[in-house]
Each structure stands twice: as C-alpha cells, then as structure tokens.
C-alpha cells in the first residue's frame, strides 16, 4: 500500500508499505482523510526525538476493515483516530480520566514494515497511509453525516481546543477570551469560545491574512502582532482589566509570557501550543499573584471516547461549523506543497485524501 514516509532527510510517498494483521483488541482502519497538524512537522524539524523511517499523521477519519480477536466494533464502522491508547484497566481509566492514564503514550510495536524492515508509526497512529493498525480504544465511532475533513479535525485540533476552553479554562458566558495564534488549533479555540458564550474574543496573529477567518469563527477583535510584546498591549488596550481566559496556541515561551501578562485578576492561561521539549519559561512569580492560573492541557484534558461523538453531535446540530477551516484537501503526492503552505501560514487546516491513492 501507499504511505508518506519520513526517513530522516526526505518525506516520500512510497507504494511498498506493508502492515501486519491486527492483534488482540486491534483494528485495521482504512484511512479516508487525514489532517496535516503542526505536530506532524516536529519529527521533520527535529523538535522531538523520533526513530526513522516513520509513517507520519495522526488526525484522521476512516473505516474499520479488519478486526483482531476480542474487538466489538463491527467491520465498516466509521471511526476517528485518537493518539491515546489508554489501558482501560487502571484507576484513571476506570474513573473516565483517560488523559491521566500513565500508559496512554506507551510505545507499541509498529505495525508497518518495508522491505522486511520496521517502519515506525508516528504517535501510535501513522495515519498518512492507506491503512493503519490501532487499538480499538483509539478508534472512536463517528456519525456518517459529518464530512471527512471535519471529522478528521475533531480527533486532534477540535477536541484539544474545545477541551481547553470548556474543561481546562472553564470559560463562562460573557467572559473575555484572548487567543494567541490563529492556526488550526487557535481558530478552533475561537469557535469554542464563541460556543461557550464568551463576550469578547480577542485574536492575535502576526499574519494579517488571518483576520477574515478569525472574524468568521467568532473573533470580536483581531490584531496583527509581529512581536510578542504587541500581544499584551493589544489585549490590555482593548480590555484594560485583562482577559479572563487566554490561550497560547503557538508554542513559544515569549508568547506564553505575553499571554500571562494579558490576564486579568482571576484569569486562566492555558498552554495549548507545544514547544520543543527543552524550551524553558522564565516568569516573574508575582505575575500570577492575583488568583491567576497557568494550566497545562493534554489533548483538551477530556476522554476522546465521549468527547468526540459529543463534538460531532454539536457540529451537526449547527452549534459551530468546522467547514471554513478546511482550506485544502490534496493527494499525498502534493505533501511538499501542503507542508510549504502550512509553514507560510496559508492553511487553516490542510488534509490528505488517502482513498485509493
Ligand atoms: Zn495534532
Ligand atoms: Zn489506564
């Protein structure tokens, strides 16, 4: 089968990728569409240590085409993939706190190979391929009505953003929200803030092109902020008392400091963007004195098995629309182009169509 393989120096579309049969509790998912997330660039940019060669991709929708022993989901079930592989048995899993399961990110034996040699599976999903093998706990049934690209987006960008707003910052009706960075996740945060009834939604990005889409998603104020120092100024000029909730969606220490500096008393800052592992934050401790909070957030801090179907239901009910965020759907042969567009800030979300590639 075909798949996009990063070998440490080149991203290539290969056609001789193989996968092993599903083991106990595993399913083979035929991928329809997979989103290109910034995290997929981390191995390419050397921001994380990743064994190569590797099949990238983790935000995807597809169908179960094969089942290992003990799988209950029927063949043909339409599923969204989740990077989490919870054990299902520990105290956190039993209590529904799947993101707290210590075993969600345990390395698993890769299902992929090429020429008899293993090819790694990026974050236990490896979705830039015609098929992948995952645990049934990572395959979450999703309604047929939601279009492919939007369904794929639910699995990473949307669940992260809505979880950050609703579960982590607990944004209440009428509150002021600041969103730093209007990429795929940042714009989903804007949608979530509007759905939560935020009164004012201030969006900052260095790219002026993001104005229209940010406003379409619900931004009430948009500022072009070439430097991190522009962010707090823009926010505090707009709301002198500061933001009630602020989301750093880029993954830069200087922007996180600006996010914290934008908070009002009782404000919550949520770390949504992920910097490289060795990035450090220098912070004046007193900047959090007035009942402010700095919060980490792992994929929205919610259980994807309950959160994804609920988000799909809300999207289908018209509570929010992911359609404007689907900028481009391309064949995997255009991977170089799509990645260049992402780096230039020209994509809200780009996707690969993997059907019959
Ligand atoms: Zn992602
Ligand atoms: Zn567990």
Using alpha carbons, select from 247, 241, 242, 238 the residue that is nearest to residue 294.
Answer: 247
Distance 88 CA to ligand 2 centre (A): 5
Mark the residues whose beta carbon lies below 5 A from ion ligand 1: 37, 39, 156
Distance 272 CA to ligand 2 centre (A): 23
Please give the mean pLDDT across all residues of the chain: 95
Measuring CA to CA, how many Å separate 202 from each of 177, 244, 288? 6, 11, 21
Question: Could you tell me the pLDDT band of residue 16, with boundaries at 50, 70 and 90?
Answer: very high
- The H or E element containing residue 210 is helix 210-217
**pLDDT computed for residue 87 by the predictor:** 86
Distance 265 CA to ligand 1 centre (A): 32
Question: Angle at Cα 353 formed by Cα 349 and Cα 356, nearest 5°?
Answer: 175
Of the bound ligands, which one is closest to the alpha carbon of residue 156? 1
CA 307, CA 91: separation in Å to the nearest integer? 20
User: Edge-to-edge strand order for the sheet containing 221-224?
Assistant: 221-224, 200-205, 176-180, 243-248, 263-271, 293-295
Question: Could you tell me the pLDDT band of residue 357, with boundaries at 50, 70 and 90?
Answer: low
Chain segment 140-151, per-residue pLDDT in tens: 999 999 999 999
- What would the mean pLDDT of 194-216 be, rounded to a whole number? 97
Question: Is the preceding peptide bond at 257 cis, omega within 30 degrees of 0?
Answer: no
Distance 86 CA to ligand 2 centre (A): 5
All domains in the chain, ordered by first residue: 3-141+322-353 (3.90.180.10), 161-298 (3.40.50.720)
315 has a pLDDT exceeding 90: yes
The percentage of residues in the chain with a pLDDT greater than 90, rounded to a whole number, is 90
The percentage of residues in the chain with a pLDDT greater than 70, rounded to a whole number, is 100
337 has a pLDDT exceeding 70: yes
Distance 125 CA to ligand 2 centre (A): 18
**pLDDT computed for residue 178 by the predictor:** 98
Distance 238 CA to ligand 1 centre (A): 31
Distance 82 CA to ligand 1 centre (A): 10
- What would the mean pLDDT of 21-48 be, rounded to a whole number? 95
- Conformation bin of residue 141: beta by default, left when phi > 0, alpha when psi is -120 to 50: beta
Distance 290 CA to ligand 1 centre (A): 33
Of the bound ligands, which one is closest to the alpha carbon of residue 97? 2
Of the bound ligands, which one is closest to the alpha carbon of residue 88? 2
Are 186 and 213 in contact by the 8 Å Cβ rule? The answer is: no
Chain segment 75-121, per-residue pLDDT in tens: 999 999 999 888 888 999 888 888 888 888 777 789 999 999 999 99
Are 194 and 245 in contact by the 8 Å Cβ rule? The answer is: no
- Conformation bin of residue 271: beta by default, left when phi > 0, alpha when psi is -120 to 50: beta
Distance 236 CA to ligand 1 centre (A): 31
């Amino acid at each position: 089968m075909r798949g996009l393989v990063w070998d440490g120096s080149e991203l290539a579309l290969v056609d001789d990728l193989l996968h092993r049969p599903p083991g106990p509790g595993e399913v083979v998912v035929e991928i329809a569409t997979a989103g290109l997330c910034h995290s997929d660039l981390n191995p390419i940019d050397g921001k994380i240590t990743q064994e190569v060669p590797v099949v990238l991709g983790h935000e995807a929708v597809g169908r179960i085409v094969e089942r290992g022993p003990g799988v209950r989901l029927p063949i043909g079930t339409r599923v969204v993939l989740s990077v989490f592989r919870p054990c299902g048995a520990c105290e956190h899993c039993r209590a529904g706190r799947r993101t707290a399961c210590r075993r969600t990110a345990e390395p698993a034996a890769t299902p992929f190979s090429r020429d008899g040699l293993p090819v790694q599976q990026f974050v236990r999903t490896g979705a830039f391929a015609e098929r992948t093998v995952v645990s049934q706990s990572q395959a979450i049934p999703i309604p047929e009505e939601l279009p492919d690209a939007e369904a794929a987006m639910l699995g990473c960008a949307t669940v992260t953003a809505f979880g950050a707003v609703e579960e982590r910052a607990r944004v209440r009706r009428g509150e002021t929200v600041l969103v730093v960075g209007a990429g795929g996740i940042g714009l989903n945060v804007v949608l979530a803030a509007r759905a939560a009834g935020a009164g004012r939604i201030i969006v900052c990005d260095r790219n002026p092109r993001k104005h229209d889409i940010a406003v379409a998603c619900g931004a009430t104020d948009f500022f072009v902020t070439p430097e991190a120092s522009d962010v707090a100024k823009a926010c505090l000029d707009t709301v002198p008392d500061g933001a009630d909730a602020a989301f750093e969606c880029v993954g830069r220490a200087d922007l996180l400091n600006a996010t914290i500096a934008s908070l009002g008393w009782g404000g919550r800052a949520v770390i949504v963007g992920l910097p490289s592992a060795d990035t450090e934050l220098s912070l004046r401790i007193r900047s959090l004195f007035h009942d402010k909070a700095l919060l980490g957030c792992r994929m929205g801090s919610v259980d994807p098995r309950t959160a994804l179907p609920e988000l799909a239901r809300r999207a289908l009910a018209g509570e929010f629309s992911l359609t404007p965020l689907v900028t481009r759907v391309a064949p995997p042969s255009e991977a170089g182009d799509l990645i260049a567009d992402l780096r230039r800030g020209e994509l809200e979300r780009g996707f690969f169509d993997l059907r019959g590639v």
